[in-house]
Structure 1
Amino acid sequence: MKFSLSWLKRHLETEATLAQILDCLNTIGLEVEGVEDRAAALAAFRIAHVLDAVQHPEADRLRVCTVDAGDGAAPRTIVCGAPNARAGMKTVLGLPGAVVPANGMVLKVGKIRGVESQGMMCSSRELGLGEEHDGIMDLPADAPVGMPYAAWAGLDDPVVEISVTPNRGDALAVRGVARDLAAAGLGTLKPLEHAPVAEAYPSPLRWTVENPADCPWVLGRAVRGVRNGPSPQWLQDKLSAIGLRPINALVDVTNWFTYDLGRPLHVFDVKKVAGDTLGIRRGREGESYLALNGKTVSVTPEDIVIADSEAVESLAGIMGGEHSGSDAGTTEVFIEAALFDPVRIALSGRRHELRSDARARFERGVDPALPPLALDAATAMIIELCGGEASTVASAGAEPDWRRTAHLRFERIAGLGGSAITPDQAVEGLERLGFAVEARDEAGVTVAVPPWRNDIAAPDAILAQNPELPAERARKAAEGCAVIEPECDLLEEVLRLRGLDAVPPVSLPVSSPVPRASLSPRQSRAVLARRVLASRGMLDCVSFGFMDGRVAALFGDTPAALRVENPIAADLDQMRPTPLASLATAAARNAARGFAEVALFEVGAAYRDASPTGQLAVAAGIRTGHTPRHWDTPARAVDAMDAKGDALAVLAALGVPMAAVTVTADAPGFFHPGRSGVVRQGPKVVLATFGELHPELRATLDLDGPAVGFEVFLDAIPDPKKRRKPAPELSAFQPLKRDFAFLVDASVPAENLVRAARGAERTLITDVALFDRFAGEKLPEGKVSLALEVTLQPREASLTEAEIEAVGAKVVAAVAKATGATLRG
């Protein structure tokens, strides 16, 4: 919302300075976005009179001018290179110390080709007032010498821009801003006066309203015999100052009242309207109109339109049409002032991507009692500027019952607002804002809410039609829900008039001396998984959650419920079943550009279905090509064990007990069926999958060379038990290790042997590790040799040879029983 200082003072009687006004606006919640004060930059420049101008003795293109600055001092010598510098002209002069707005240069006394120059006569460009720079400014002969140029040119009218919250539609009017400032004690609000308009003839047009909910009330009046043309200079200056382009007197009047009173109006050229009726109705299929912004708008049955007997003339409350707009040939105009459904105006504006000053006000809610006064004021201004005579008023509907009351308990001022404002001060502030006191006692006050404050309380008529609303508010309050009551709105008004910065800050109560964790267990898992994978040399990726549906189908189901209805690109039309799919496509793009060896990971979402539980948190990774070459380790192709190591590293870091983890071979179909696995905790909980990507999948993606990947399902990891960690058992005795080599069927997983050996003697065996696998001609057909290293940790005394042999016998027996393996000789 923009307004100039002089415009504000048309409504506000005040002696306050601009700085005081700006400070007050910020204090009462109308935050100042910016101030354009051209006079401040031009304060050091004044109107001067060139008494004499002679040729410079040392330069053909320079003149030595004698200039009267009008400050009572002796005329000054100015060296000037402008071709239009001449004796007798009036121009703009900057004296030493002035700063040139265009380039920031500070003027000083200096010599130019041996002649002292005591200032500078300026062009429009140098003053930042235009692009003209062929010569110095040539002012009219009656320009007063010595007067500040900004004051003479009318540039000493600062323009203020404030931000307006969605609930404060009344602040989108200069009068609304003036009312707030007056209520805050910065002056007096001038009365809004207008003389009644004489009605000379019947209205040539009438109104019809199809749905009163869309438009409860509309007024209109014609003015005939008008002479349309440019509006007077004062009106053009006011509109230009706030960024509006003057068009013609009739249109400029409607723009004036949009900002002055916050009352959007529209004018129709009566001769261009077909028939004698303007109807307010819903749009129909196939209808369109050419809007004032030059674009054709196709209306829908959800839009409110104003139409004549032939076509749509306006998108109601948003933008008028070119066809019935006023121009230089307009001689009779019809002024429209209406109330429209704010929600439908907002939806229509968003649907058609149309933004206008009218829409900004209607969607916030306008004063429902203002149309008659605004119509009279606009009619009077049109007659004043364009001549003519007015018709009777045509109307449809009736003024809605906007009357409502609100109650404020005085104890809430201190209890909820933390302020020492007295009851008398509170009531006085509300009255200055336009609230009328209906009842008051020692406990509180009941006020009638003015029509322009539609953000406070619900109209009594709505409450009467919906008696369940107060009960619903009480129910929400009893359930602990936030309920915004009219009393809170009144309290806010009382507090902001004194200054929102005067409300004392109060710290929230501390629930515990030790702050709670800022991250949930799920968030902590994601952070830790990301850190672990990065430490293993992988690069973190952030990709879209949607992808090409054809590629997504290679990695799992692609239900129609997860199809993107309005994708940002044709090949991003499906929610991905796993982040591994996004990483695989990224690896393929890298390979196509010569980077065949990558190690990528992402902690993101996988989408399985459209239910609330269908989005999974997954840490996925992919490795392609070969491992890095090192002086002691030759490069080799990545394999499934690399992906398994990545997955197990994440699970171990997240606190999963690795002794309870098993690996099965039923990996998803996008993995190689013989070189992949599933990490489980128990028979049902799937913690991770890993393996080589399927050859057919790699061929489809043009991913040449070896590629392995993994998924870790972060949501499947159980939360750690909240129990105190026991002190570590640190034995004073040296651990010892024994090796066992077993002959076993090649189909038996090595993991079964490790688990059986670990359970053979739990009090002494602390670790079991597989360190060798051998298969060859010296072994029976279908058999392999698996070697285990078993770590024994004595706790009470060193183990004797017999005790060690006993533990070894238990290990052999347990492995034989669980897997059928025999100890190699």
Structure 2
Amino acid sequence: MKFTLSWLKEHLDTTASLGEIRDGLTMLGLEVEGITDPAEALKGFVVGYVVEAVQHPNADRLRVCKVDTGSGVVQVVCGAPNARTGMKGIFAPSGSYIPGTDLHLKASKIRGQDSNGMLCSFRELQLGEDHSGIIDLPAEATTGAPAAEALGLDDPVIEIKVTPNRADCLGVHGIARDLAAAGLGTLKPMKADKIAGTYQSPIKWTHGYEAVPDSPCPIVVGRHFRGIKNGPSPDWLQRRLKAIGLRPISALVDITNLVTFDLNRPLHVFDAKKLAGDLVMRQAREGEQTLALDGKTYTLDPSIAVIADAKGVHGIGGIMGGEDTGVAEDTTEVFLEVAYFDPIRTAASGRKLGIFSDARYRFERGIDPQSVWWGAEVAARLILELCGGETSEIVSSGVMPHWQRSFTLRPDRVKTLTAIDVPAAETAAILGKLGFVVEGNGPWTAAVPSWRPDIVGEADLVEEVTRVWGFDNIPTTSLPRLSPTSKPVRDPMQRRVPLARRALATRGLNEAVTWSFLPLKQAERFGGGQADLRLLNSIAAELDTMRPSILPNLLDAARRNEARGLADPALFEVGPQYKDATPTGQRVVAAGIRHNMAVPRNWAGPARTVDAYDAKADALAVLVAIGAPVDNLSSQSGAPDWYHPGRSGVLKLGDRVMAQFGELHPELSAGADLKGPVVAFEVFLDAPPLPKAKATKARPKLVLSAFQPLERDFAFIVDSDVDADKLVRAARNADKALVTAARVFDVYTGKGVPPGKKSIALTVTLQPVERTLTDAEIEAASAKIVSQVAKATGATLRG
């Protein structure tokens, strides 16, 4: 909503500064989005009087002018054909910035004559496109006066954000009412004196509804005008509309726009000679069409309210008038429409037709139903003043909707709801200034004014008092502590998300954020697509199912990146995926993919493509970061079917899957147009057990050994289907006090190894703590390791 400061002061008698008005509007809930002051761009420009204008001695098309600036006479060389002695124009002194030409003026010589400043055209000041000559001001303009004042541009434009419940502030009068209630002036009465009609209207209103009170247009008022002259509107009206971004069209149209923004009362005028008899408010018939004022033809249906005559539809109720009966320059008779339209039905019709208009914006938020009467008087006064002619008596149809309602406000309610202690007299006074009729001494009974459909209870009355008294008066009160010590904002499970992100970013993967839904076919391929995960109103036709896995979206992201020349994508995302629609069906997962090179070619060796172990390393890094007991995890086969059946696995803690990893199925890689292996992993962040609470008294001690560790190698013969991980864990658990590490360094099948068997070689690290181990102790530890591995896996020591 835009308006100028002078426009506001036509409704508000105030001495408040622009800054005070700005702050007052914001505190009232009418947030100021911006203030534009055209005078700022013309600062330093003044009205100059051309004392003398003579031909330039060295140029045929230039004139040398002596210009009185109000503070002295300066010489200016001017090339405008209309520069002459005795005229007044806009003078820009040396040092000024000319916005239309992006020029900083400097004193100079032009063809041998001094020039100190310039006389400006409209285009040079960005006030229009006229560049045929310099601005020619009226003779009564004051020499030396600011240019903005002489051009009528010394009026700041204020733009506010109006919330949907405050339709009354979509008119300048309503804004002034709020400011007056806040003590920033006195509200001036609205000029709505009754205009007596001099004849009977030849056009009447009728309703095509069985139940008028429940119709889309409960009441409509109109009056006829004849003998009018529709020409350009006066300069003051054109400047006002231009200031808020509206294009002046003609006096009649400009009047309707003025009343719309001035009083929040949308109007429409028909060219009466183009109508065929009386007008009727009715529902459109199936397939009816109308050419609207925006130049578009709309096909209507029975859910849309229209204004029609015997020939057809001439307006869409509450939204836009018709082109066929619109006023023109030769219009001499008009019929004025002042209607009240139902907010919800107007909004539904506007959405269905896709029409956005100032009228719809106001009607769907709820205007003052009483305005059908005073709006006809305001419009009549303006039409008679600006267009002449005479007007008929008012005609109407329908009944006034029931808007009257009252609510009780208890004296202590403002304080109990907001903690602000507003004096009782001030409470009643504030409501009175806002237009409520207040009775009683507390509790009060407040009758709601017709322009406030948003007031529906006592809490709304409290809000009105509070916002006018000032939200900044709400006392600051600290909430009581729930515990003597502060608690972490996030619990251990919530902290796993940033820890997983950091771990994967550290490993060189780039984070992606993708949709939580995908096409049904992709969902089915990744184990989803159940009926309860289908979207009823998806943002795109193909994104119709909640994702059962993050991987398909990452595949699409990798394909898009590679199509744009970004090779070797390594992407991850930490987010939800969905198994079903139950509360436990959503899991938070850290997933990622890698494609092409794991290690680029370098001086130390050749390039290497990614494999399943790269994905496993990523998964383990996440598990380590979130505190999972990785030493107790087992690596097994059994990954889902979107992984390669022979190059994938799962990480388990007992029977619980912590993560799954491996090379993606070649079918998926080919479907994503990705050549070569694509590896992926999925870590279920909710799967690892939470750390157990530890006693705060006992602090862990750092144990450092002064004795040198020693390593022993063992080679075992096991069945070919035995996982090497089982041997590692068995060796590590053989003596937890002495064995600090165990790892595989060789796997062998072939000569010397029986068929169906394989040889797995381990390096086990022994770390003495109290003393250097003797040979006997080393042999005993080695025997214990062999025994433990044999017991756990059936292995035999390789000879």
| Range of TM-score over shorter length | 0.7 to 0.9
Counterpart residue identity of residue 634, structure 2? T
Identity over the aligned pairs, expressed in percent? 50
Q: TM-score, normalised to structure 1's length?
A: 0.85
Asked if 1:278 is matched to 2:286, the reply is no
Match of 1:584 in 2: 555
Match of 1:168 in 2: 166
Per-residue CA deviation, residues 252-299 of structure 1 (Å, 9 max, x unaligned), is 222222112112222334454556351243x56534433222223344
Report deviation, 1:746.
Answer: 0.6
Report deviation, 1:173.
Answer: 1.1
Aligned equivalents of 1:327 and 1:427: distance in 2? 50
Per-residue CA deviation, residues 600-634 of structure 1 (Å, 9 max, x unaligned), is 33334434445555443322222333442455555
Q: Within 5 A, what are the aligned runs for 1:716-735? A: 716-724=687-695, 727-728=699-700, 730=703, 732=705, 734=707
Report deviation, 1:353.
Answer: 3.5
Counterpart residue identity of residue 816, structure 1? A
- Greater shift, 572-581 or 672-681, is seen at 572-581
Match of 1:743 in 2: 717
Report deviation, 1:433.
Answer: 2.2
Match of 1:126 in 2: 124
Report deviation, 1:784.
Answer: 0.9
Match of 1:467 in 2: none
Match of 1:222 in 2: 223
Match of 2:77 in 1: 79
Match of 1:622 among 593, 598, 611: 593
For the 8 Å contact 2:578–2:585, the answer to whether it is kept is yes
For the 8 Å contact 2:742–2:762, the answer to whether it is kept is yes
Match of 1:10 in 2: 10
Report deviation, 1:76.
Answer: 4.6
Match of 2:652 among 662, 672, 680: 680
Aligned equivalents of 1:672 and 1:325: distance in 2? 71
Aligned equivalents of 2:595 and 2:36: distance in 1? 60
Aligned equivalents of 2:727 and 2:654: distance in 1? 17
CA separation of 1:581 and 1:21: change in aligned 2, threshold 3 A: closer
Counterpart residue identity of residue 639, structure 2? A
Q: TM-score, normalised to structure 2's length?
A: 0.88
In structure 2, stretches of 5+ residues that fail to align are: none
Match of 2:678 in 1: 707
Report deviation, 1:695.
Answer: 3.0
For the 8 Å contact 1:426–1:494, the answer to whether it is kept is no
Report deviation, 1:766.
Answer: 4.5
Match of 1:182 in 2: 180
CA separation of 1:142 and 1:680: change in aligned 2, threshold 3 A: same
For the 8 Å contact 2:181–2:468, the answer to whether it is kept is no
CA separation of 1:600 and 1:192: change in aligned 2, threshold 3 A: closer
Count matched residues.
790
Per-residue CA deviation, residues 20-79 of structure 1 (Å, 9 max, x unaligned), is 43343344343333333334544644444434322233444432223445x4x7755433
Give 3-state SS (helix, strand or coil) of 1:485's partner: helix
Match of 2:505 among 534, 556, 561: 534
Aligned equivalents of 1:594 and 1:114: distance in 2? 62
CA separation of 1:713 and 1:368: change in aligned 2, threshold 3 A: same
Match of 2:612 among 636, 640, 657: 640
Report deviation, 1:651.
Answer: 1.3
- Greater shift, 519-528 or 659-668, is seen at 519-528
Give 3-state SS (helix, strand or coil) of 1:440's partner: coil
Asked if 1:690 is matched to 2:661, the reply is yes
Aligned equivalents of 1:721 and 1:549: distance in 2? 41
CA separation of 1:714 and 1:130: change in aligned 2, threshold 3 A: same
Match of 1:423 in 2: 424
Per-residue CA deviation, residues 483-536 of structure 1 (Å, 9 max, x unaligned), is x9235313324423xxx4555555555656765434454543232222222222
Report deviation, 1:341.
Answer: 3.1
CA separation of 1:50 and 1:631: change in aligned 2, threshold 3 A: closer
Match of 1:91 among 85, 89, 92: 89
CA separation of 1:99 and 1:800: change in aligned 2, threshold 3 A: closer
In structure 1, stretches of 5+ residues that fail to align are: 459-483
- Greater shift, 76-85 or 672-681, is seen at 76-85
Aligned equivalents of 1:124 and 1:591: distance in 2? 54
Report deviation, 1:575.
Answer: 4.9
CA separation of 1:502 and 1:771: change in aligned 2, threshold 3 A: same
Counterpart residue identity of residue 50, structure 1? V
- Greater shift, 102-111 or 308-317, is seen at 102-111
Report deviation, 1:307.
Answer: 4.5
Question: C-alpha root-mean-square deviation of aligned residues, in Å?
Answer: 3.6
Give 3-state SS (helix, strand or coil) of 2:618's partner: helix
Report deviation, 1:438.
Answer: 0.7
CA separation of 1:142 and 1:440: change in aligned 2, threshold 3 A: closer
Match of 1:339 in 2: 340
Asked if 1:783 is matched to 2:757, the reply is yes
Match of 1:661 in 2: 633
For the 8 Å contact 2:660–2:681, the answer to whether it is kept is yes
Report deviation, 1:676.
Answer: 1.3
Aligned equivalents of 2:79 and 2:376: distance in 1? 56
Report deviation, 1:453.
Answer: 2.7
Match of 1:292 in 2: 293
CA separation of 1:759 and 1:213: change in aligned 2, threshold 3 A: farther
Report deviation, 1:356.
Answer: 1.9
For the 8 Å contact 2:292–2:321, the answer to whether it is kept is yes
Report deviation, 1:175.
Answer: 0.8
Asked if 1:819 is matched to 2:788, the reply is no
Counterpart residue identity of residue 158, structure 1? P
For the 8 Å contact 2:639–2:645, the answer to whether it is kept is yes
Match of 2:404 in 1: 402
Report deviation, 1:407.
Answer: 0.9
For the 8 Å contact 2:182–2:469, the answer to whether it is kept is no
Give 3-state SS (helix, strand or coil) of 1:92's partner: strand
Aligned equivalents of 2:769 and 2:51: distance in 1? 112
Match of 1:208 in 2: 208
For the 8 Å contact 1:440–1:446, the answer to whether it is kept is no
Asked if 1:434 is matched to 2:440, the reply is no
Match of 1:21 in 2: 21
Match of 1:247 in 2: 249
Match of 2:364 in 1: 363
Match of 1:465 in 2: none
CA separation of 1:651 and 1:103: change in aligned 2, threshold 3 A: same
Aligned equivalents of 1:489 and 1:546: distance in 2? 41
Give 3-state SS (helix, strand or coil) of 1:166's partner: coil
Aligned equivalents of 1:637 and 1:769: distance in 2? 24
For the 8 Å contact 1:182–1:188, the answer to whether it is kept is yes
Counterpart residue identity of residue 663, structure 1? S
CA separation of 1:554 and 1:264: change in aligned 2, threshold 3 A: same
Per-residue CA deviation, residues 694-744 of structure 1 (Å, 9 max, x unaligned), is 233334444333332221122333333333476446265745544332211
For the 8 Å contact 2:406–2:445, the answer to whether it is kept is no
Counterpart residue identity of residue 171, structure 1? C
Give 3-state SS (helix, strand or coil) of 2:392's partner: strand
Counterpart residue identity of residue 821, structure 1? A
- Greater shift, 587-596 or 253-262, is seen at 587-596
Give 3-state SS (helix, strand or coil) of 1:716's partner: coil
Q: Within 5 A, what are the aligned runs for 1:197-596? A: 197-199=195-197, 200-201=199-200, 203-209=203-209, 212-215=213-216, 217-233=218-234, 234-273=236-275, 276-281=278-283, 285-299=286-300, 303-308=304-309, 311-328=312-329, 330-384=331-385, 385-410=387-412, 412-413=414-415, 417=418, 421-441=422-442, 445-458=444-457, 485-496=459-470, 500-501=471-472, 505=476, 515-547=486-518, 554-559=525-530, 575-588=546-559
For the 8 Å contact 2:411–2:424, the answer to whether it is kept is no
